A and B are shown apart, each in its own frame.
Chain A
């Protein structure tokens, strides 16, 4: 079992651009959550996808959007990138929506210049 895989591992974008990050959940998991982790901080919950719909959302602007596919994989999209969006973006999958058995991927390091 490959666990949770994210791509790409590193990414550099210019302010104002758009970015798409991808996540494949652990086998048997149908729920995917995304987090933003700024340097020196704990992860912050962005949103959760289950049955291809956004089910819960944290305190993030509409520039952050996502999608879940029938195979449970997910994408995180960020529009109109700001310098402050530079962070490690983590994907976590779980077998249910409770997030109590979540497995995290290694993250995508996004740098906005």
Chain B
């Protein structure tokens, strides 16, 4: 079946830098996307979501961009902090079934 994938398995940044985590999806029927943060020993934690009728959504220090033309999703974290170190997953959901499909994840390492 179609799946969600991430371009970079590991991203290392310095504290204070901006981070960008990318995600490619291939199911054109997906109409809802979620970014999750998973810290070691914990379950995934909701960060931000976006519906397919939007191309940008902002939260506190985070922004999600959606490019449906190239089926690409990104998560931007401003002023990255050591507490942002975690694995980040994007998940796509198709309306009607709402079964989330997760990508492999990107490990974000923030150096103080």
Contact = CB atoms under 8 A, between A and B. Distances in A.
Interface of A: 4, 40-45, 48, 56, 58, 90, 92, 97-107
Interface of B: 4, 32, 34, 41-46, 49, 89, 91, 93, 97-105
A106 B43 CA distance: 4
A45 B89 CA distance: 14
A98 B45 CA distance: 17
A100 B103 contact: no
Contacts of A98: 93, 98
Contacts of B43: 4, 90, 92, 104-107
Nearest to A104: B43
B45 A104 contact: yes
Given A104-B43, A104-B44, A97 B98 contact: yes
A90 B41 CA distance: 11
